[in-house]
Amino acid sequence: MSSITKLTTVFESLASMRLAQTKDQVLHSQAFFDELWGMYSQMRVDSLFRFGRQDGVAKIDKELYIAITAEGGFSGDIDQKLISWMIKQHDPAKQDIVIIGHHGAVQLAQAGIKYKKYFKLPQHDQNINVVPLVEQISQYKSTTVFYQTYVSLMVQDIKKIALQTAVQEAGERATGKDTDVISEQSYIFEPDSYAVIAHLERSMLNIALGQTILESKLAQYASRFRSMSASKERATDAQKDLSLAFYRAKRSAADERLKEIIGSIRKAAA
């Protein structure tokens, strides 16, 4: 029990450290998104966000569900809540599923739900490559992301967002002071302005997805911290109970031995 207490303390410390690192990464990512949105808002000729598709047409007339879960089983019960919530809203005829994280893929398989693609949850919190995910998104008319969100160190929740709406809302919050219009009259675009706009949309989509994955990992680290804290408390209580039982048994054995000695002395004296 002493070893278990020490191990849970180590895991708790690791989760706390990863929490701080991930928070910093989210802030840096948001700053870069703000810069890109500033250029994008100056170039757009309409309010539509086309997910980087130059033709603006999706190949698959269905909605894409993306679920972000943990890679392992140390995330508490939040993954199970997320998958159960998504399954209640899932209609195979209307939605396809892309799952991120092995833990979620296992739960979908156990529930008998088929998914189109599976991606491992990135191990590192920097330079997250979401290009394969963006390629999947660009084929669908709309995308909804199910993920875990960080409320506080002891509270985590599950959430879903429509990806196009989320990107646009993030852009509206990031609107800066630049009001100049970037057009072909004053700039040269290669190969053309629509290709540049599509590239900016894909870049911002990459950042938005990366931020969502980071926020989900932030919630997972917090959930892991909470689970390890609870496990450490239970292990500490069990260790105290075992120590108390051990000393009681030891005292009882000593008392029995003392009684035997006293009994032997009385017999000898008689």
Q: Record the tokens describing residue 77, joined without a space.
A: 């019960």
248 within a domain of the structure (yes/no): no
pTM reported for the whole predicted model: 0.67
246 within a domain of the structure (yes/no): no
237 within a domain of the structure (yes/no): no
Residue 66 predicted with pLDDT over 80: yes
How many structural domains are present in the chain? 1
Residue 251 predicted with pLDDT over 80: yes
187 within a domain of the structure (yes/no): yes
Domain that holds residue 196: 2-227
pLDDT of res. 183? 66
49 within a domain of the structure (yes/no): yes
- How far is the CA of 152 from the CAs of 71, 74, 75, 155, 171, in angstroms? 22, 18, 15, 5, 25
| Closest-CA residue to 147 (of 223, 57, 257, 245) | 223
Listed ranges 106-115, 128-137, 186-195, 233-242; the one with the highest mean pLDDT: 106-115
Confidence of residue 65 (pLDDT cuts 50, 70, 90): very high
How many residues would you count in the chain? 270
238 within a domain of the structure (yes/no): no
Confidence of residue 20 (pLDDT cuts 50, 70, 90): low
Q: Picking from 16-30, 68-82, 87-101, which range would have the lowest pLDDT averaged per residue?
A: 16-30
Residue 145 predicted with pLDDT over 80: yes
pLDDT of res. 114? 92
First-to-last CA distance in the chain? 49
Q: Picking from 18-22, 163-167, 192-196, which range would have the lowest pLDDT averaged per residue?
A: 18-22
264 within a domain of the structure (yes/no): no
Residue 56 predicted with pLDDT over 60: no
How high is the mean pLDDT of the chain? 77
249 within a domain of the structure (yes/no): no
Confidence of residue 29 (pLDDT cuts 50, 70, 90): low
- 186-217 per-position pLDDT tens digit: 777 777 777 777 777 777 777 778 878 888 88
Q: Which CATH number goes with the domain that contains 165?
A: 3.40.1380.10
The span from the CA of 119 to the CA of 238, in Å, is 39
Residue 75 predicted with pLDDT over 80: no
CB contact set of 181 (below 8 Å; sequence gap of 6+):
42, 43
